[in-house]
Each structure stands twice: as structure tokens, then as C-alpha cells.
Homo-oligomer: A and B are copies of this chain.
């Protein structure tokens, strides 16, 4: 299939996906998630694969402690994950790539994917590339961020990411405004292969979109071509459109199609639709929220699946499927399968009250954040290793991209 034909098919596919999402009244794009997301439908419409059966077992057995995230289908969808595991088993190896758009403070939902990536790094002993897309966030006009804003958030967010504890000699944090120049030759090669119609269809650009933003996909595709090995991208599924384009052009440039492992969105505190938003503090718990703030947010804003009175609750029981505290425990904070099923059963039966459910979550979240903050303080002296002085960072800054 010629690139032109593939490009056209991709356009048509993208238009169809877009229309169907609009019909369904939920929207998932790299810049917007709204409505109640139907994940099975996303898999069909994005054309990804569910993580199930033998593949799920294979991944679980590799992940040990983090296996619950696969077992519970928090990471639920993929592209070419089987090929990644094949390459690993054959000794070819693979590399990981993830990123962060520094548009504000990071919340619990943002950091989950980084912890998962670190677990993958530990288990598979891979290199990790983390892209800080400060250019994207500046170009995304509706955010109204000044250039200085994006630089400030980039610095703060990088510290949060460093706190996760990636291996300093195997991890490279590239901040676009610093690194794009060095890698510009390869970015140009990517950009030359992506025409405007394709980008427009995949991302929904309009005439009002600025020319920087319509160029930006080439920058986000860049790290997926940092090595000739297969690249696995752990991220929430909203970033998938970039990898569709990447997969359309990577082989013609002499690289592998990107593989992906997609997570669901942690629901906002306020209920099971949309996603946590940095601009709506009541929907999210930020990584720098202190214990008191965490307690207040959970007690005041967390949407409960409980009944309107204790008597009713004891009689009818709660609904864990819409109870955000339960969902947060299930999605991340309670790895013990036996314990989470006890909580679910006790809540459903009415034995556990809403307040008790919230107490459990408050304890888990404050404990997690205390540890994260301690790691963050220690990480201040590590940032330079990820960005410049670690073994991988030094290699990347020396790499000649004109030969890529």
C-alpha cells in the first residue's frame, strides 16, 4: 500500500471515528475527554486490541506487583504489545516512551501512568524516554498560557516525574523547547511524511488552528523513533491518534511501528464522567495537596455511591460502580485483590458506610502523597541526570540526528 493510499485510508478512518464519538456523546481526543467513556467502543473505533486471554496472562506474569492493573483492566487496550513481549523474550529488547504536557500542577491521574512506566522499566530493564511537551501547551491557544507559564510548569512537573524514581542512567527527560533543535533533522523527516489532510482528519484541526499546533504532531512522534528497537508507549488512550500517524509512516523511515498500552482515565472525584481537570480543583487531587486538603476534597467532593441516609444505606447498600472512592481504590490505591473485593462486598451490602469508604481512600492517598513528596525532595538533585548528565541523557545529546 503506497503512503498516499494509506494516508487517505487513515483520513477516512479518522473521520468515521470522530463522527461516531460525537454521536455517542462522549469525546476522547488528545486535548479533550468528556462524557461517559465507553471503553469497549473506543477499542473498536480506534482499532486497538483488548488486553485479554494469553496476552493478559503473559503481561501479568511479568509484572508481579503491578499485575493488578492489567488484571483489573485499568490497562485494557494495546497495539502490538504481543510483538513487544516477543522481542523482549528473543533478547532484542524494546524501549518505553511516555510524556507530560506541562499545563498546570500534576494530579493523581497524571502520575499513575508514570508509576506504571517505572514498573515496566524495573521489570524489563528498558530505557525510558519522557517527553515534556512545553511547546504543545504553549501552542494550544485556548489554554492561554504564557511562555513563562509553560516553563514554570515544565520545571515543576519534571520534579514530580523525577520523584517516581526512574533509573537515572536509563532515563532521558527531554523538554521540547530545549531538545527540538538538536533533533530537528529527524523531526523534519517525520513532518515531510505527514500531510495536512491526514493531520486535520486525525486531530480535528480547523482553519483557525495555528500553524505551530498543526506541525506539533511531528514533535510528539519524534521519541518513538529514538531507537531502531520497538517502542512501547504507556499512556491514557486519548493520546492514541498520534500513534496512528506514527504507525503509518515509521516503517518508511526505517523504524518500527509504535506499540502502545492504553489505560483508562481515573474518574474525577466529582463523578464517573469526563476526566480530572487541572483547572477544576474539586475534580482532582494534586500531588502537592497537603493531608488536610486531601481529606477536605474527598469528604466534600468525592461522588458517593451511597444512599442518602445511614438507615437507607444499611438497608439498600451502596453502589461501588459509581462510587468514586471505591473506583480510585480499585484503579490504583488498593493492589490487594482479596481486600478490594471485601471492600466492594461490604459496601454493596450496606455494612460499609460512605464515610468509611472515604476514610480508607484518605488514608491511602495521604500515605501515597507523603511518600511521593519525600521522594520529590530527594529527586531535586537528580533532575540534571535525567535531562543532561545521566548515561542515556549524555548519549542523546551527543546523538547525530542528521543521520537518523
Does A195 lie within 8 Å of B181, measured CB to CB? no
Q: Does A189 contact B (CB under 8 A)?
A: yes
A67 to B212, CA, bound (A): 41
Interface centre among A147, A148, A194, A217 (most CB of B within 10 A): A147
- With A147-B402, A181-B182, A184-B180 already in contact, the answer to whether A211 and B207 are too (CB < 8 A) is no
**Which residue from chain B places its CB closest to the CB of A139 in the assembled complex?**
B192
Q: Does A196 contact B (CB under 8 A)?
A: yes
Does B191 lie within 8 Å of A211, measured CB to CB? yes
Does B210 lie within 8 Å of A194, measured CB to CB? yes
Does A147 lie within 8 Å of B185, measured CB to CB? yes
Please encode chain A, from 162 to 195, with 1 for each CB lying within 8 Å of some chain B CB and 0 for all others: 0000000000000001111110110111011111
Does B177 lie within 8 Å of A185, measured CB to CB? yes
- In order of increasing CB-CB distance, the 7 nearest A-B pairs are A181-B181, A191-B212, A197-B207, A215-B215, A211-B215, A194-B211, A192-B210
Q: Which range contains the number of A residues in contact with the other chain? A: 35 or more
A179 to B182, CA, bound (A): 9
Q: Does A199 contact B (CB under 8 A)?
A: yes
Q: Does A138 contact B (CB under 8 A)?
A: yes
Q: How far is the CB of A390 from chain B (nearest CB, A)?
A: 21
Does B188 lie within 8 Å of A212, measured CB to CB? yes
- With A196-B205, A214-B196 already in contact, the answer to whether A402 and B151 are too (CB < 8 A) is yes
**Which residue from chain B places its CB closest to the CB of A197 in the assembled complex?**
B207
Q: How far is the CB of A167 from chain B (nearest CB, A)?
A: 27
User: Which residues of chain A from 382 to 403 have any CB-CB distance to chain B below 8 Å in the complex?
Assistant: 402
Q: How far is the CB of A152 from chain B (nearest CB, A)?
A: 11
Provide the residues of chain B in CB contact with A179, threshold 8 Å.
181
User: Which residues of chain A from 49 to 84 have any CB-CB distance to chain B below 8 Å in the complex?
Assistant: none
A96 to B212, CA, bound (A): 26
Provide the residues of chain B in CB contact with A185, threshold 8 Å.
147, 177
Does B135 lie within 8 Å of A188, measured CB to CB? yes
Q: Does A208 contact B (CB under 8 A)?
A: yes
Q: Is the interface of A mostly helix, strand, loop or mixed?
A: helix
Q: Does A141 contact B (CB under 8 A)?
A: yes
Provide the residues of chain B in CB contact with A208, threshold 8 Å.
195-197
Does A214 lie within 8 Å of B212, measured CB to CB? no
Q: Does A9 contact B (CB under 8 A)?
A: no
Partner of A181, one of B180, B191, B193, B215: B180
Partner of A199, one of B135, B211, B213, B218: B211
Q: How far is the CB of A242 from chain B (nearest CB, A)?
A: 12
Q: Does A200 contact B (CB under 8 A)?
A: yes
Please encode chain A, from 197 to 240, with 1 for each CB lying within 8 Å of some chain B CB and 0 for all others: 10110000111111111110110000000000000000000000
Provide the residues of chain B in CB contact with A141, threshold 8 Å.
192
Partner of A138, one of B139, B192, B205, B217: B192
A to B CB contacts below 8 Å, 15 in the list = A147-B185, A147-B188, A148-B402, A151-B402, A177-B184, A177-B402, A179-B181, A181-B181, A181-B184, A193-B210, A194-B210, A194-B211, A196-B196, A196-B206, A211-B218
- With A147-B402, A215-B215 already in contact, the answer to whether A209 and B188 are too (CB < 8 A) is no
Provide the residues of chain B in CB contact with A207, threshold 8 Å.
195-197, 200
Please encode chain A, from 130 to 156, with 1 for each CB lying within 8 Å of some chain B CB and 0 for all others: 000001001101000001100100000
